[in-house]
């Protein structure tokens, strides 16, 4: 459905400054896939989408979308794709229904069929009540549903969504996703969807494939589960009295499956019921299989006289994946594509919660 | 890597013909979309009338006082065509701000991703300018009838049509400006205001140019608005076959042609 080779986009901002927004992305997306493109601000997600949707021409490289080259046959590509951009799709002063009818006509429906299609979409996206109101009067969630409806008017086999749920509250996000997934399966042949998002949980839950982009390059591309298992691993956190921390770290390092061990800086003053007060420390262990490793760790600790007070096993998040790949947390990072050296993180991990080890 | 190394597009052999696209149909879609908010809320057009009515109400009497001696009872035949040209100029030159809104909100980008013809997106928008120009001019004429305005009826109708053509041109130029400065939005108003007043004063709209210095008259010869204003005055007075009217049409049509040409080019290059 999509095939890019060494796709590149440079923006010449001034005579001395060129922004390398996209640096050689090669991708293949098969029909029916649901792909999430994940990356920090300025990673080049929107720029990539804008090239794939014929809005801007690549500086170099090639892209074929729905079977057509984006530069040679933009008209063909436009007719085949749906696009929900980072901005809105409905004119502020226009009525909701009118915008859908107009879009239907743009894609070649006659007025009657455009009205039927508009009514279908209003119904499907829960906008019937708002149909005869001005777009500017809609709530954020309603507006975004209208944008999606506009993108679906011509039943495109391929839909691009640029941050569809940004700015929506959790309830509205879930609701929007409900609608998107329903429209996807309602299509005669499952729609191919490529979306960008900042919400890690969203990519995690809905996408069948996650492409991580940073500094205009693809740095990882797999299912969310595979990425997490390969690049992050589970996190087992044990709390012990400060004087036992070193011993526990040694035990953990020897345990099978351990990838890295970190003793958190600074102790926690604890007053557990029935125990003498004392300073406790946390030992964080990255391991391939957390739930499987925990019992063994506890037995070994017990045998060595290490007094484990709390245990926590966390499955990794996509943020851990990004952290593992770049040493930066996706949540905290904004990257300017214009950074002179792409290998130099603009935002070094400094926060206490950031873990430094890079998995083997 | 070059395109040659890619396998040919799977659809290439069994290519379905694209839905038939006609420029006229696309233009009509854009035009009707632009007209819808106006049709829903025709009173919004009244705002565009405040300025001309202020000129008629507060400048007209001054003119009667000062130029009344030379122009006599025909002062309205002289001034109202100018006010109509002013209404057209003021109204159509701000229309680019609507496109600016659509650019910043993402609506314009959305339109560019559809197969809608790009020239049609400019032409449809510019053609819409005819509607406010005609409606507002008609209101001004009606308002002035009780005050003694008695234009040649055919002359008045032809002047309104000429102004509609001028409005297409001015609107298209306004859209071109909005597209040209889309990365520094504030520039739109700077340029619009900077151009607006010289164009207005150098058209002889408010005071006769004949009494001005030679250099002003020289500059005004390249100001299309001057010819449209002169044409309106001649037509209102019933001088329909005069060369002033002919030049007015030339100026209006040339403005529209230049505006549409510039605008279409700006529209085609407006994606990044
Ligand atoms: N038209 C442009 N001119 C100059 N620079 C641009 C232009 N468009 C994008 N850029 C730059 O290219 C880089 C990539 O931008 P892009 O919008 O693709 O990022 P993104 O991944 O979509 O970010 P976000 O998550 O914030 O939407 C950024 O540094 C941005 O400033
Ligand atoms: Mg973006």
Alpha carbon B136 to its chain centroid, in Å, reads: 12
Mean pLDDT of all residues in chain A? Answer: 85
Among left, alpha and beta (phi > 0; psi -120 to 50; other), residue A269 is beta
**What pLDDT shows up at residue B19?**
63
Residue A152: CB partners within 8 Å, gap ≥ 6? A82, A121, A159, A183
Query: Do A215 and A109 fall into the same domain?
Result: yes
CB atoms closer than 10 angstroms to residue B54: 12
**What pLDDT shows up at residue A269?**
65
Higher pLDDT, B161 or A320: B161
A24 in any annotated domain: yes
Does residue A334 carry a pLDDT above 60?
A: no
CB nearest B3 (choices: A50, A69, A108): A69
Question: Looking at residues A167-192, what average pLDDT do you find?
Answer: 86
The verdict on a CB contact (< 8 Å) between A3 and B6 is yes
A348 in any annotated domain: no
**What pLDDT shows up at residue B70?**
67
How far, in Å, CA of B133 to CA of B94, rounded? 13
Task: Decide: helix, strand or coil at residue A100.
Answer: helix
**CA neighbours closer than 13 Å in the CB half-sphere of residue A302:** 6
- Identify which of A47, A196, A218, A336 to mutate to test ligand 1's pocket (most ligand atoms within 8 A of the CB): A47
Question: Looking at residues A179-203, what average pLDDT do you find?
Answer: 87
Q: How deeply is A167 buried, as exposed, middle or buried, from its count of CB atoms within 10 A (0-12, 13-18, 19+)?
A: exposed
Query: Do A182 and A91 fall into the same domain?
Result: yes
ipTM of the complex: 0.86
Does residue A163 carry a pLDDT above 60?
A: yes
**What pLDDT shows up at residue A360?**
39
Helices B130-144 and B23-40 pack at an angle, to 10 degrees, of 40
The verdict on a CB contact (< 8 Å) between B115 and A75 is yes
Query: Do A225 and A277 fall into the same domain?
Result: no
Pick from B196, B186, B244: nearest CA to B92: B196
Query: Do A55 and A155 fall into the same domain?
Result: yes
Distance (Å) from CA A56 to ligand 2 centroid: 14
Residue A264: CB partners within 8 Å, gap ≥ 6? A281, A282, A283, A284, A352
Polymer length of chain B: 272
How far, in Å, CA of A208 to CA of A34, rounded? 6
The verdict on a CB contact (< 8 Å) between B19 and A90 is no
Query: Do A222 and A240 fall into the same domain?
Result: no
**What pLDDT shows up at residue A98?**
96
Does B8 lie at the interface with A, CB-CB under 8 angstroms?
Answer: no
Cβ distance B236 to B156 under 8 Å?
yes
Decide whether any atom of ligand 1 lies within 6 Å of the A46 Cβ: yes
The pair of three-digit structure tokens given for residue A277, joined into one six-digit string = 């007060």
**What pLDDT shows up at residue A275?**
60
How far, in Å, CA of B195 to CA of B191, rounded? 6
| Ligand 1 atom nearest A56 alpha carbon | 1
Alpha carbon A228 to its chain centroid, in Å, reads: 13
The pair of three-digit structure tokens given for residue B213, joined into one six-digit string = 């210095």
How far, in Å, CA of B146 to CA of A266, rounded? 88
Query: Do A259 and A207 fall into the same domain?
Result: no
A156 in any annotated domain: yes
**What pLDDT shows up at residue B142?**
93
Query: Do A261 and A203 fall into the same domain?
Result: no
Cβ distance A2 to A20 under 8 Å?
no
Residue A358's pLDDT band, with cuts at 50, 70 and 90, is very low
Residue A320's pLDDT band, with cuts at 50, 70 and 90, is confident
A354 in any annotated domain: no
CATH at residue A62: 3.40.50.300
Helices B153-180 and B96-105 pack at an angle, to 10 degrees, of 30
**What pLDDT shows up at residue A268?**
65
Tell me the pairing of strands A18-29 and A217-222.
unpaired
Question: Looking at residues A147-176, what average pLDDT do you find?
Answer: 90
Residue B132: CB partners within 8 Å, gap ≥ 6? B38, B45, B48, B91, B92, B167
The verdict on a CB contact (< 8 Å) between A108 and B20 is yes
Q: What is the pLDDT of residues A264-276, one digit of tens each?
A: 866 666 665 556 6
Residue A345's pLDDT band, with cuts at 50, 70 and 90, is very low
A333 in any annotated domain: no
Sheet containing A18-29: give its strands across: A18-29, A2-12, A60-65, A68-69
The verdict on a CB contact (< 8 Å) between B33 and A91 is yes
Query: Do A159 and A240 fall into the same domain?
Result: no
Q: What is the pLDDT of residues B231-266, one digit of tens each?
A: 999 999 999 999 999 999 999 999 999 999 999 999
A324 in any annotated domain: no
CB nearest A98 (choices: B36, B106, B112): B36
Residue of B nearest to A111 (CA): B29
Residue B41: CB partners within 8 Å, gap ≥ 6? none
Domain span holding position A297:
234-314
| End residue of a domain, out of A173, A204, A229 | A229
CA B12, B15, B17, B21 torsion-angle sign:
negative
Higher pLDDT, A54 or B62: A54
Q: Can you name the residues that pair with A192 across neighbouring β-strands? A: A158
Question: Looking at residues A168-188, what average pLDDT do you find?
Answer: 86
Pick from A13, A10, A14, A16: nearest CA to A61: A10
Q: Which residue has the tokens 């409606």?
A: B135
Does A80 lie at the interface with B, CB-CB under 8 angstroms?
Answer: no
The pair of three-digit structure tokens given for residue A343, joined into one six-digit string = 């290998």
Interface test with B, best of A102, A144, A164, A167 (most B CBs within 10 A): A102
Pick from B222, B270, B268: nearest CA to B247: B222
Query: Do A32 and A118 fall into the same domain?
Result: yes
Does residue A337 carry a pLDDT above 50?
A: no
Assign 3-state DSSP to chain B and report helix, strand, coil percentages, each to 5: 80, 0, 20
Residue whose CA is closest, atom 8 of ligand 1?
A47
Assign 3-state DSSP to chain A and report helix, strand, coil percentages, each to 5: 35, 30, 35
CB atoms closer than 10 angstroms to residue A277: 9
**What pLDDT shows up at residue B26?**
95
DSSP state of B233: H
Tell me the pairing of strands A310-314 and A158-162.
unpaired
A328 in any annotated domain: no
Polymer length of chain A: 360
In degrees rounded to 5, what are phi and psi of residue A115?
-70, -40
A269 in any annotated domain: yes
Does residue A227 carry a pLDDT above 60?
A: yes
Q: What is the largest CA-CA distance in chain A?
A: 81
The pair of three-digit structure tokens given for residue B103, joined into one six-digit string = 């650019």
**What pLDDT shows up at residue A120?**
92
Query: Do A19 and A150 fall into the same domain?
Result: yes
Q: What is the pLDDT of residues A55-100, one digit of tens each?
A: 999 999 999 999 999 999 999 999 999 999 989 999 999 999 999 9
CB atoms closer than 10 angstroms to residue B221: 10
Does residue A199 carry a pLDDT above 90?
A: no
Residue whose CA is closest, atom 12 of ligand 1?
A21
The pair of three-digit structure tokens given for residue B197, joined into one six-digit string = 């007043």
Query: Do A100 and A240 fall into the same domain?
Result: no
Query: What are the Cα distances from residue A194, in Å, to A34, A201, A203?
Result: 6, 16, 11
Query: Do A12 and A29 fall into the same domain?
Result: yes
Decide whether any atom of ligand 1 lies within 6 Å of the A290 Cβ: no
Q: Spell out the per-residue pLDDT of chain B, length 272, in tens.
A: 444 444 444 444 456 666 668 899 999 999 999 999 999 988 888 888 888 888 888 888 888 777 666 666 588 899 999 999 999 999 999 999 999 999 999 999 999 999 999 999 999 999 999 999 999 999 999 999 998 889 999 999 999 999 999 999 999 999 999 999 999 999 999 999 999 999 999 998 888 888 889 998 899 999 999 999 999 999 999 999 999 999 999 999 999 999 999 999 999 998 87
The verdict on a CB contact (< 8 Å) between B115 and A3 is no
Distance (Å) from CA B4 to ligand 1 centroid: 29
Residue whose CA is closest, atom 26 of ligand 1?
A41
Does A102 lie at the interface with B, CB-CB under 8 angstroms?
Answer: yes
The pair of three-digit structure tokens given for residue B198, joined into one six-digit string = 């010289």
Q: Where are the domains of chain B?
A: 18-270
Number of domains in chain A: 2
Task: Decide: helix, strand or coil at residue A281.
Answer: strand
């Amino acid at each position: 459905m999509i095939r890019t080779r060494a796709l590149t986009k440079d923006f010449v901002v001034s005579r001395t400054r060129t922004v390398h927004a996209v640096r050689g992305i090669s991708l293949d997306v098969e029909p029916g896939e649901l792909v999430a493109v994940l990356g920090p601000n300025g990673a080049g997600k929107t720029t990539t989408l804008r090239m794939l949707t014929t809005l801007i021409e690549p500086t170099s490289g090639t892209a074929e979308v729905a079977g057509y080259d984006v530069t040679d046959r933009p008209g063909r590509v436009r007719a085949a794709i749906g696009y929900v951009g980072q901005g809105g799709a409905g004119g502020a002063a226009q009525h909701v229904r009118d915008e859908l009818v107009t879009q239907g006509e743009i894609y070649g429906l006659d007025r009657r069929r455009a009205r039927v299609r508009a009514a279908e979409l209003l119904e499907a996206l829960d906008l019937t009540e708002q149909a005869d109101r001005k777009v500017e009067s809609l709530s954020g969630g309603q507006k975004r549903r209208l944008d999606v409806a506009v993108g679906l008017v011509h039943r495109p086999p391929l839909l691009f969504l640029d941050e569809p749920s940004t700015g929506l509250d959790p309830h509205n996000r879930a609701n929007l996703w409900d609608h998107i997934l329903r429209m996807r399966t309602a299509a005669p042949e499952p729609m191919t969807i490529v979306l960008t998002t900042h919400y890690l949980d969203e990519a995690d839950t809905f996408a069948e494939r996650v492409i991580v982009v940073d500094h205009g390059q693809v740095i990882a591309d797999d299912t969310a589960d595979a990425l997490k298992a390969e690049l992050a691993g589970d996190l087992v956190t044990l709390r012990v009295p400060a004087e036992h921390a070193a011993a526990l770290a040694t035990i953990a390092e020897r345990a099978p499956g351990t990838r890295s061990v970190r003793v958190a800086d600074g102790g926690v003053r604890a007053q557990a019921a029935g125990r003498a007060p004392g300073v406790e420390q946390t030992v964080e262990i990255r391991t391939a299989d957390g739930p499987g490793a925990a019992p063994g760790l506890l037995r070994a600790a017990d045998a060595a006289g290490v007094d484990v007070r709390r245990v926590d096993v966390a499955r990794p998040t996509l943020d851990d994946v990004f952290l593992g790949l770049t040493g930066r947390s996706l949540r905290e990072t904004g990257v300017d594509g214009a950074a002179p050296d792409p290998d130099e993180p603009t935002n070094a991990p400094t926060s206490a919660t950031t873990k430094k080890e890079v998995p083997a | 890597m070059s395109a040659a190394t890619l396998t040919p597009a799977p659809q290439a052999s069994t290519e379905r013909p694209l839905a038939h696209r006609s420029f006229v149909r696309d233009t009509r879609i854009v035009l009707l979309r632009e007209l819808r908010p106006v049709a829903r809320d025709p009173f919004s057009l009244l705002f565009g009338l405040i300025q001309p009515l202020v000129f008629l109400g507060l400048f007209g009497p001054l003119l009667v006082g000062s130029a009344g001696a030379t122009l006599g009872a025909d002062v309205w035949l002289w001034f109202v065509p100018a006010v109509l040209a002013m209404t057209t100029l003021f109204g159509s030159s701000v229309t680019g701000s609507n496109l600016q809104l659509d650019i910043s909100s993402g609506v314009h980008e959305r339109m560019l991703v559809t197969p809608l013809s790009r020239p049609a997106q400019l032409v449809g928008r510019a053609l819409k300018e005819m509607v406010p120009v005609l409606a507002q001019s008609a209101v001004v004429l009606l308002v002035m009838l009780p005050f003694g305005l008695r234009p040649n009826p055919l002359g008045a109708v032809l002047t309104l049509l000429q102004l509609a053509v001028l409005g297409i041109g001015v609107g298209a130029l306004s859209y071109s400006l909005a597209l040209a400065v889309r990365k520094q939005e504030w520039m739109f108003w700077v340029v619009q205001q900077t151009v607006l007043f010289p164009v207005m004063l150098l058209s002889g709209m408010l005071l006769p140019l004949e009494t001005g210095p030679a250099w002003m008259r020289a500059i005004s010869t390249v100001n299309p608005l001057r010819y449209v204003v002169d044409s309106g005055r001649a037509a209102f007075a019933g001088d329909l076959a005069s060369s002033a009217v002919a030049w007015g049409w030339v100026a209006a049509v040339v403005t529209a042609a230049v505006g549409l040409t510039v605008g279409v080019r700006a529209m085609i290059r407006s994606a990044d």
